[in-house]
Amino acid sequence: MQLVRSLLIGSLGAALIGVPAEAADFYVKPQTAGPVGGTPLSSISLQATTDPLLYPEGTDQNPEGTDQTTADEGTSGDVQFRSAATTEVSTAGKWVKARKKKGRKNTTGSTDTSGATTAGETATGGTSTEGTSTGGTSTGGTSTGGTSTGGTSTGGTSTGGTSTGGTSTGGTTTGGGTTAGGSTWGSFDALMASGQVNGGDRIFLMDGYHGPIVVKDMKFTSPVLIAPVSGQTAQADSILVMNSSNVTFNGLKVWATSANAGSGALIRSYTNTRDINFTGLDVRAVANSGNYMSWSQTEWLANQRVGFQVDGTNISVTKNRLTGLYHGILSLGGNALIEENIVDGFAGDGMRALGDNSIIRRNKVQNCFQINKNHADAFQSFSRGPTGKPGTGTVHNLTIEDNKFFEWVSSASNPLRCKLQGVGMFDGMFDGIIVRNNVIISRAYHGITIAGALNSQIVNNTVISALGKADRYPWIKVAPHKNGTLSNNVTIANNMATNIKSITDPTRNILVTDNVIVKSPGAEFASIAQFDYSLKSTSNGANTGNAKYAPADDIAGVLRPRGKAPDIGAYESF
C-alpha cells in the first residue's frame, strides 16, 4: 500500500538557499561558566561497531579515512552521531529523507547501505555492541566537529554593533572561541528580546550553564541555528518553544541542575510551533543519569523527567541521546520525524507518536525499569478525539520501521528490570499503519499489538522472547478496538515471531501468511547472546519470505532479496 504524505522534502542545500545574504552570528555568555559536568556515557551503536555512527571522530573505532558507509552518507552529509556546532543552518524540521515506500519493491528517497557488509550486531572480534560498554566516551553532547569558520557572518556585524545585554566584540569569547564579526550577549533572553535575530542567523552558546532556553513568538522565515560554540560545551536546564517556527537546536546538553529533577518535560514545543528541529542533543534527567543502572527505586522516582514532549507541525527529533529518564520522546503533533535516537535507561515509554503522517525510524530503545504500576512500552500510540480522550479518534499514516527495541541489554541483573511491551497501539482507531523491519526483544505479552487497525501492514519484523526460548509471547496481534469496532484490511506477513495471535479472516480482509513461529531462537539467529538477530544460513526464515509483501530493503538497508526469495524477519541475511 502506498501512503501519500503532505510533507515538504528538503535537503541541506535547499535550506541554505533561503538564508539571507547578511545572516549574522551571535554569541551568548553562560549564566555560570564551564566546564560542564555530567557522567561520561558509554558508546552505543545503532548498528554494528563497523558503523562509525556513534564513535567520536578521530578514535580508533573511526579513524580518518576509513572506508565505511553509514545510513545517511551521501544524503545528509553528516554521517556521525555527534553534537557539534555546525557552520551550516540545518533543515529545521523539514524532512531529510522521503518516506521509504518499501512495500512492493518501490522506494522513494535514498536507500540505506549501512548493513551491506554488517548484517548483524556482532562487533569486530565478537564483542556485543548492544550494551553499554564500560570505558566508552560520551557521544551525545560534546562538540566534536563543525567549526564555525571564525564566527564570521556574511555582511559583518549585527545591526548596530551593540545592544542591550551584549557588545560587539570582534575578538575572542571567554573559553577561547572566536567571535570575529559577531556580537556577544550577556544572556540568551537578552538576545531574544533585542529583535535582532532574523532567519538564517546563528546563535552560539559559550561554554557553561545557560539555565532555561526559551524561544517564544519567534517566527523566522528561514532556519535559525542554536548550538554550542565549536569546541565548547553548553548546557541548558530546559528548552521551551512557543508560537515559533524555523529553529534548529543542535549539540546542546540538557538536564535539570536541581538536586531532584522532579517531573515534566525537559524539552517542549507547543501546538503553535512548526518546522522545529532538535538534533544531536544529550538529554538526561540529571547530570549523573549515566549511573542509572545503580539507581534505587527512590532515585528513579525522584528523577521522573520526560526527555521530549513535542507538539506542533513538522517537528523533527533526530540523532539525540536520551539517558536515565521516565518517558523518552513524546510526539503529539502531525508530520513528526523521530529518527536515529537512542533511549537508554527509562521507566515509562521509550517513544510515543500520536500525530498523523509521522515516521518513527532507526531508533534504539533499551534497558527498561519498573518503578511504579505503569506498563512500559518501547513505542506507544493512541488516538484522541475532539475532547482529547484516548480511543475516541483515528491516527492516520504512521510508519514504524527499522527500530530496535530491547527490554534489557546490560550484563548486570537488576531487581527493577521491567517487562517491556514492544509496539503497543491499544486505543484506536489506527488507519494506514506500517510496522516493518523492527527487532523487538522482550518478556511481555505484546510484541506488536494494534487494537483497531485499518488498511495496515505488519511485515518483516523480528519479535522474540528475551528468555531465548520458545514461549507464548511476545506476540504479534491485531485486535478489535476496545469499543468492539473490528480491524479490517490488515496484512501480517514475513515475520519471525515467538507467537502470532491473529489468523486469516477473508470476511475482514485480514491476511496472515508466510510467518515463522520461532521455537528455538538459538537455531534461527546468528547470536542471541550478542543481540545479533540476523539469520543463520539454516534458519527457517532464510530465503522463504514472500516477495509480494517484503519491503525493498531490510533494517540495515540491505536490498531484498539477496537470494532466491527475501528472508523472513527484519534482516536480509542470505
pLDDT at residue 455 in the model: 98
Instruction: Check: CB of residue 99 under 8 Å from CB of residue 107.
Output: no
Beta bridge partners of 95: 9
pLDDT at residue 30 tops 70: yes
Residues 424-435: pLDDT tens digits?
Answer: 999 989 999 999
pLDDT at residue 144 in the model: 32
Q: What is the largest CA-CA distance in the chain?
A: 74
Residues 245-293: pLDDT tens digits?
Answer: 999 999 999 999 976 667 889 999 999 999 999 999 999 999 999 999 9
pLDDT more than 70, % of the chain: 72
What distance in Å separates the CA atoms of residue 200 and residue 216, rounded to the nearest whole number?
17
What distance in Å separates the CA atoms of residue 487 and residue 508, rounded to the nearest whole number?
7
Segment among 95-99, 324-328, 393-397, 500-504 with least mean pLDDT = 95-99
pLDDT at residue 17 tops 70: no
What distance in Å separates the CA atoms of residue 503 and residue 199, rounded to the nearest whole number?
54
pLDDT at residue 445 in the model: 95
Using the 8-state DSSP alphabet, how is residue 158 labeled? Answer: P
Task: Provide mean pLDDT across the span 12-24.
Answer: 49
DSSP secondary structure string for all residues of 362-422? S-EEEEEB--SSPPPEEEEEE-B-TT--BTSS-EE-EEEES-EEES---SS--TTB---EE
What distance in Å separates the CA atoms of residue 496 and residue 499, rounded to the nearest whole number?
9
Task: Provide mean pLDDT across the span 362-389.
Answer: 95
Q: What are the two backbone dihedrals, phi and then psi, of residue 359, each rounded to the nearest 5 degrees? A: -125, 130
pLDDT at residue 263 in the model: 83
Instruction: Check: CB of residue 474 under 8 Å from CB of residue 442.
Output: yes
Mean pLDDT taken over the chain? 79
Of the pLDDT bands very low, low, confident and very high (cuts 50, 70, 90), residue 47 is low
Task: Provide mean pLDDT across the span 377-384.
Answer: 96
pLDDT at residue 269 in the model: 98
pLDDT more than 90, % of the chain: 68
Of the pLDDT bands very low, low, confident and very high (cuts 50, 70, 90), residue 45 is confident
Residue 349 CA, distance from chain mean position: 13
199 or 48, which is more confident? 199
Q: Which three cell numbers stand for residue 343?
A: 533511549
Task: Provide mean pLDDT across the span 410-422.
Answer: 94
pLDDT at residue 33 in the model: 93
Of the pLDDT bands very low, low, confident and very high (cuts 50, 70, 90), residue 363 is very high
66 or 481, which is more confident? 481
pLDDT at residue 46 in the model: 82
Say whether the peptide bond before residue 223 is cis (omega within 30 degrees of 0): no
pLDDT at residue 353 tops 50: yes
Of the pLDDT bands very low, low, confident and very high (cuts 50, 70, 90), residue 510 is very high
What distance in Å separates the CA atoms of residue 417 and residue 371, rounded to the nearest whole number?
9
pLDDT at residue 145 tops 90: no
pLDDT at residue 259 in the model: 66
Closest C-alpha among 471, 523, 522, 545 to residue 501: 471
pLDDT at residue 111 tops 60: no
Instruction: Check: CB of residue 317 under 8 Å from CB of residue 360.
Output: no
Q: pTM, whole model, 2 decimals?
A: 0.78
Residues 303-352: pLDDT tens digits?
Answer: 999 999 999 999 999 999 999 999 999 999 999 999 999 999 999 999 99
pLDDT at residue 27 tops 70: yes
Residues 170-212: pLDDT tens digits?
Answer: 333 333 344 446 899 999 999 999 999 999 999 999 999 999 9
Closest C-alpha among 482, 477, 520, 478 to residue 499: 477
Of the pLDDT bands very low, low, confident and very high (cuts 50, 70, 90), residue 107 is very low
Give per-residue burial for 467-503: e unless 16+ CB within 10 Å, then b.
eeeebebbbbbbbebeeeeebbebbbbbbbbbbbbbe
Of the pLDDT bands very low, low, confident and very high (cuts 50, 70, 90), residue 83 is very low
pLDDT at residue 2 in the model: 34
Q: Which three cell numbers stand for residue 183?
A: 556580537
Closest C-alpha among 326, 290, 345, 334 to residue 310: 334
Instruction: Check: CB of residue 455 under 8 Å from CB of residue 434.
Output: no
Residue the block writes with cell 560542564: 36
Q: Checking DSSP bridges between strand 510-513 and strand 532-535, what pairing results, if any?
A: unpaired
